[in-house]
Amino acid sequence: MREWTPPPHIATMTQISDFREIDEILRSKDFRQGSHTESRPLFADSLLLLDGPGHRERRRLENPLFDRTALMYYDHEALNPVVEKMVRDCLDEAGDDGTVTVDLVPLVRAMLHRIAATTTGIDGVDTPEATERFRRFLEDLGAAATVEWSTKDHDEVLAYGLARRAEFVEEFFGPSVERRKKLVEDFHAGRIERDDVPVDLLTLLYLHWDDAWDDEFPLREATLFLVAATQTTTHTLPHVIVHMEEWLASHPEDAGKKADPDFLRLMVNESLRLHQPAPTLLRYATAAVTLASGREVAEGERVALLFTPANRDPGVFGDDAATFNPYRGTPEVSGVRPWGLTFGGGAHVCVGRPLVTGLAKRDGQAPTEGTMMRILRALYAADVRLDPANPPVAAASSSHDMYDSMPVVLTRR
């Protein structure tokens, strides 16, 4: 695994890597958001940066996007047909030997764009050409949204991202907003029923418009959803493929389990633990705080919560916490999820986590698989494996453990 080192922008902050201390800070009311200082033009006033009553009210407003009914729709209607079709399209290009080599990184991103568009309320992502345009917009928005981690000139990255956002507004966002404004107007006028109004972010915002919001607020909130809807899976899923090959090479007895959903789930959970899309979150102390460990944090102090070393804390995940082991079992600390702090904690725990991990069956309600499992099952049904002639390429433009490219071989059966 690529070693993670703290980036320059947190060098002067208090850095905390103890799992228990981070978990306590995330749950504490005495800390507020301190992340995304440079990328604030994309996210100001969005759910990501709110605290207190404003954050609770926004989450209440947007929770219908991630209830079980919505997740079932995303899982079965928005994602699965797209994933299966894209894998079939790849296999249609297979040579005489029945194999084809594709780059997993853009392939996974393209698979997720339909669900990102559906949850956010972006229309027109319905042809291969439009999907490719949409994918490129999201890549550029994602680079600007994570500018703090970039190894390039930050001002240039942000300026380019904002310029691309203006193009995105003209081509996709603007027409989608106008359609939803008309739908909301027709609903309030009684011309259409509530069931005729889509359940997506933009529609919810215009249905419950707050005059305190500025005209660009829906764009900033939509940018958050578009980036977040794809970020975790596109970041972590390639690592699952790498870990699978490494694990099976040293544990051949598991070679027949690649199609086993339970085994795949273990692989996903362990990969999520070791490879977080946001390896560090920043917080400000709103009061002087003494943590349970005895650590003192002064009022106004900015702390960097280092998720990567915390998710490898031997006191929580065992002596081999820094290594990949799908059979790790229950963490030593009660209440800790197998993926650790990857989705945050406390009031700001990731609202879209069930979209990635799925929901278990409950009270007779059907489970959902989540984006990671849906895509992995389709890939392993096509016997996905790394291309031995073309190794993965780590991202040179980020201090994080991302991949720019990962050639894989798919086999037609």
User: Is pLDDT of 273 > 60?
Assistant: yes
Q: Give the pLDDT score at 4.
A: 62
Nearest to 404 by CA among 69, 106, 157: 106
- Domain ranges in the chain? 8-411
More confident residue, 264 or 5: 264
Mean pLDDT, rounded, for 269-297 = 93
Q: Give the pLDDT score at 397.
A: 67
Q: Give the pLDDT score at 311.
A: 95
Mean pLDDT, rounded, for 201-225 = 95
Task: In whole angstroms, give the CA distance from residue 409 to residue 392.
Answer: 12
User: Is pLDDT of 3 > 70?
Assistant: no
Token pair listed for 355 = 């979209």
Name residue 305's beta-bridge partners: 16, 281
More confident residue, 244 or 234: 244
Q: Give the pLDDT score at 263.
A: 95
* Residue range 385-395, pLDDT digits in tens: 999 999 999 88
Mean pLDDT, rounded, for 197-203 = 92
Distances (CA, A) of 304 to 26, 41, 307, 400: 11, 21, 9, 15
Q: Give the pLDDT score at 14.
A: 93
CB-based contact 316:16 (threshold 8 Å): no
Instruction: State the maximum Cα–Cα separation within the chain, in Å, rounded to a whole number.
Output: 68
Distances (CA, A) of 159 to 36, 37, 155, 164, 404: 15, 15, 6, 9, 21
Q: Domain 8-411 class? A: mainly alpha
Q: Give the pLDDT score at 126.
A: 83
Name residue 282's beta-bridge partners: 304
Mean pLDDT, rounded, for 89-94 = 96
Q: Give the pLDDT score at 363.
A: 65
* Residue range 31-88, pLDDT digits in tens: 999 888 889 999 999 998 999 999 999 999 999 998 888 888 888 888 889 999 999 9
Q: How confident is the model at residue 399 (pLDDT cuts 50, 70, 90)?
A: low
Average pLDDT, the chain: 91
The radius of gyration of the chain's CA atoms, rounded to the nearest angstrom, is 21
CB-based contact 45:213 (threshold 8 Å): yes
% of the chain exceeding 70 in pLDDT? 96
Q: How confident is the model at residue 219 (pLDDT cuts 50, 70, 90)?
A: very high
User: Is pLDDT of 2 > 70?
Assistant: no
Helix (H, G, I), strand (E, B) or coil at 408: strand
Helix (H, G, I), strand (E, B) or coil at 152: coil
Nearest to 333 by CA among 310, 351, 353: 310
Task: In whole angstroms, give the CA distance from residue 229 to residue 183.
Answer: 24
What's the full length of the chain, in residues?
Answer: 413
* Residue range 330-383, pLDDT digits in tens: 776 778 899 999 999 998 898 888 889 988 777 667 678 899 999 999 999 999
Mean pLDDT, rounded, for 163-188 = 96
pTM value?
0.90
